[in-house]
Chain A
């Protein structure tokens, strides 16, 4: 049973701004399908008495010391932006006219 369509993968790729060629679409659709089916199997056995796992590693209290370090050069930041203006990310209109 196929649980994800090629069209859905294409849509996801667009949302993630990934450019996939037709072969890759087929390839990833197959892989995602396996993943979804595996998750579905976990859901079948995860009854109410089994606590959900949020973290697979048995660790806690992992902290960073509060020291500031330089981030990315702005040119590099800008290079990853789909649109850039006045040193800022330019994003499409958020709300329509009132």
Chain B
């Protein structure tokens, strides 16, 4: 586990500089340079052709939709779209690409010099940071390797590897930030907020469905530390950071690791590290002290891309309401504070709350359930909120049952659990699980009498005027009725029974 004190000590002595390279698979129907399908989950090597297999004599042709998605992304990130650029071959020897090179962009990216504003929660309220974007460029994804033999399934110790090229050639965009400075202790949160904002932006634009669990968004995290006033330190690059939570964890653990090395007089080696989701730690990969030489050169098989102003304007006109503006609008429509809005955003529940409100649920109720119980169900079950199968209509129904007093919050929770389990609809679950607030006074009084008899000393205290002791009896009654009573009602009946008042 990450110890907060190790992190605090690291931040007390050093200033972090972070940088993020994010790869996102575009949700085009076909690949970047050929017409093979991009559908996820197909049988191995069934979505391949001479182009993406790199067979001799095949020629790639650029997917127009992929260029348009990249330009739209660039515009949404406040970038300049260059008037002319080329693709480049990045040469390397690794079997994830059958061509022995990846088509990418090198010194002529399509979009440059943008920014994205992100908000993080601090003790002093939400704080905004501007993350500057260096470049957004187009490239193609690589094939998927499975390492066979050896005990671990990892590349080390494997006897051989198996390759599925279905993913090879799927359009990717890479978004690279400039170094982000001045975030101090908030660096891990800024990194996470940035990737979250990118994800929301891409979803809003419809350029990617950004399913992190399917690997359609992947991050490389660069971190360096320097003593205040010193030049920037040597950076490491942590790869394989594939969830929002891991972005934060990767930055945090790397700050701790580097601070530890530097504090004990060591030096940071420029290297690639691999992040492990299970441990939240990274291990050293290859050293970058000898710079890799990818022998980039302009891709002769693909013609230059030269977007003119008219095309760019046309694409600009297709941009939807961007997430930051949408949040500001919703905050106003829902009549909530910035902090309340931020709590919804932090819970990743904005879309769900918006959908619930659009479906007729009161904004306060929608916020309460999606940032509370439904959020808890999602994290208990390791689901994305979007995959919690509760509809706006179901929330509205639960809320009306709570408002009319037939359910309390605790019972409502069980209803949502039931829905998540696929037990059916709200009323069916209420009936099947026997979930109804016990409002029959005689039943409650009976439970109260039992609780009083079981705890005579507490009963005596309450009789003597120590009303705050009533909580113990109320708790016992709630337990006895398995939460199906209204706690306020129990308290009222209890005090009446003992003839004391508040």
B-binding residues in A (CB < 8 A): 54-55, 57, 59-72, 74, 77-78, 80, 85-95, 97-98
Chain A nearest CB: distance from B144 CB in Å?
Answer: 9
Q: Is B46 in contact with A89, judged by CB distance below 8 angstroms?
A: no
Chain A nearest CB: distance from B53 CB in Å?
Answer: 7
Chain B residues with Cβ below 8 Å from A90 are: 160-163
Binds A, one of B61-69, B246-254, B317-325, B384-392: B61-69
Given A61-B306, A71-B47, A77-B45, decide whether A91 and B160 contact each other with a Cβ distance below 8 A: yes
Q: How far is the CA of A8 from the CA of B9 in the complex (A)?
A: 59
Q: How far is the CA of A94 from the CA of B45 in the complex (A)?
A: 20
Given A88-B163, A98-B157, decide whether A62 and B62 contact each other with a Cβ distance below 8 A: yes
Chain B residues with Cβ below 8 Å from A85 are: 148, 162
State whether the Cβ of B28 lies closer than 8 Å to any Cβ in chain A.
Answer: yes
Partner of B303, one of A62, A78, A86, A95: A62
- Among the interface residues A63, A89, A95, which one has the most CB atoms of the partner chain B within 10 A? A89
State whether the Cβ of B84 lies closer than 8 Å to any Cβ in chain A.
Answer: yes
Q: Is B158 in contact with A93, judged by CB distance below 8 angstroms?
A: yes
Partner of A86, one of B36, B162, B298, B300: B162
Q: Is B303 in contact with A61, judged by CB distance below 8 angstroms?
A: yes
Contacts A68-B38, A85-B162 supplied; 16 other A-B pairs, CB < 8 Å: A54-B298, A55-B303, A61-B307, A62-B62, A63-B67, A66-B29, A66-B65, A69-B37, A71-B47, A71-B49, A74-B43, A89-B45, A89-B98, A89-B164, A91-B162, A92-B160
Partner of B30, one of A68, A80, A93: A68
- Offer 23 A-B interface pairs, CB within 8 angstroms, sorted by A: A54-B300, A60-B303, A61-B303, A61-B304, A65-B64, A66-B63, A66-B66, A68-B38, A69-B37, A70-B37, A71-B37, A72-B49, A86-B44, A87-B45, A88-B164, A89-B162, A89-B165, A92-B160, A94-B145, A94-B155, A94-B161, A95-B156, A98-B156
Chain A residues with Cβ below 8 Å from B55 are: 80
State whether the Cβ of B50 lies closer than 8 Å to any Cβ in chain A.
Answer: yes
Tell me what chain B mostly uses at the interface: helix, strand, loop, or mixed.
loop
Q: Is B29 in contact with A71, judged by CB distance below 8 angstroms?
A: no
Q: Is A60 in contact with B49, judged by CB distance below 8 angstroms?
A: no
Q: How far is the CA of A77 from the CA of B45 in the complex (A)?
A: 8
Q: How far is the CA of A85 from the CA of B300 in the complex (A)?
A: 34
Q: Is A67 in contact with B35, judged by CB distance below 8 angstroms?
A: yes
Q: Is A91 in contact with B30, judged by CB distance below 8 angstroms?
A: no
Given A68-B30, A87-B43, A89-B95, decide whether A63 and B38 contact each other with a Cβ distance below 8 A: no
A78, closest chain B residue (CB) = B45
B147, closest chain A residue (CB) = A94
Q: How far is the CA of A92 from the CA of B161 in the complex (A)?
A: 6
Given A88-B164, A90-B160, decide whether A66 and B36 contact each other with a Cβ distance below 8 A: no
